[in-house]
């Protein structure tokens, strides 16, 4: 296990954080739109397409966080049995170890879990209408990103929205086709990114009366 000083750990975490936030923005700007283009031949309604992608993001973060928790428990048990000159705490050492050993994460199993969850989601078309495997590249990116975000101190997470909630301009942008006078969110296009419940990247929603 690599032994880092607290100062080195903070610098490495800050560098990882910047890269992961940039990656989150890239997925929104590029991979999300690619997934929209892939889904359009199967789903003619753009609202449904956007709902599919939003729910894919939410389910990917949920699956990745559960997978991370299991990996962290295993790593902490291993480090506790094989102690070394670790300057930082066992928790921080485990996070650093996981960040440097990404092979510990079975991303393929996470993708399958996300697709299974989407297949039974009440707000999405049934599997007979669209096979969500077609956007597995987006799901893979989201699962990998969400897992890596758990190695940060503090970890980054997304806000999970509810249809009909009051529009919050501090958390979301309105989509271009929104009714800008409407006070309520009709549906979510992309989640906001949070750090300790503070918005660091706004999400996107559609507001309608």
Q: What is the pLDDT of residues 49-60, one digit of tens each?
A: 999 999 999 999
45 and 100 share a domain? yes
DSSP annotation of 123? T
Q: What is the pLDDT of residue 89?
A: 80
Contact 52/39 with Cβ under 8 angstroms?
yes
Q: Are residues 112 and 190 in the same domain?
A: no
Please tell me whether residues 202 and 116 are part of one structural domain: no
Q: What is the distance between the alpha carbons of residues 138 and 88, in angstroms, rounded to a whole number?
A: 35
CA distance 61 to 157: 8
Residue 110 shares a structural domain with residue 12: yes
Q: Which residue among 133, 155, 177 closes a domain?
A: 155
193-195 and 198-201 as β-strands: parallel, antiparallel, unpaired?
Answer: antiparallel
Give residue-wise pLDDT tens across range 65-78: 999 999 999 998 88
The verdict on 117 and 168 lying in the same domain is: no
What integer pLDDT is reported at residue 8 of this predicted model?
62
What is the predicted pLDDT for the residue at 2? 47
Residue numbers of the domain that contains 164: 159-208
């Amino acid at each position: 296990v690599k032994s880092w000083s607290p100062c080195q750990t903070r610098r490495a975490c800050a560098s990882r954080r910047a890269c992961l936030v940039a990656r989150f923005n890239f997925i929104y700007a590029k991979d999300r739109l690619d997934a929209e283009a892939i889904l359009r031949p199967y789903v003619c309604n753009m609202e449904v397409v956007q709902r599919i992608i939003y729910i894919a993001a939410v389910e990917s973060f949920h699956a990745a966080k559960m997978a991370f928790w299991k990996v962290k428990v295993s790593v902490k048990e291993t480090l506790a049995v094989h102690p070394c000159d670790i300057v930082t705490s066992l928790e921080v050492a485990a996070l650093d170890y996981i960040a440097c050993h990404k092979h510990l994460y079975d991303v393929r199993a996470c993708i399958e879990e996300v697709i299974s969850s989407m297949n039974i989601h009440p707000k999405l078309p049934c599997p007979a209408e669209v096979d969500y495997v077609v956007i597995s590249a987006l799901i893979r990116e989201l699962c990998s990103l969400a897992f890596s975000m758990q190695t940060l101190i503090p970890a980054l997470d997304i806000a999970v929205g509810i249809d009909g909630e009051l529009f919050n301009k501090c958390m979301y942008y309105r989509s271009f086709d929104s009714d800008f006078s409407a006070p309520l969110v009709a549906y979510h296009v992309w989640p906001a990114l949070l750090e300790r419940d503070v918005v660091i990247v706004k999400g996107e929603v559609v507001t309608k009366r």
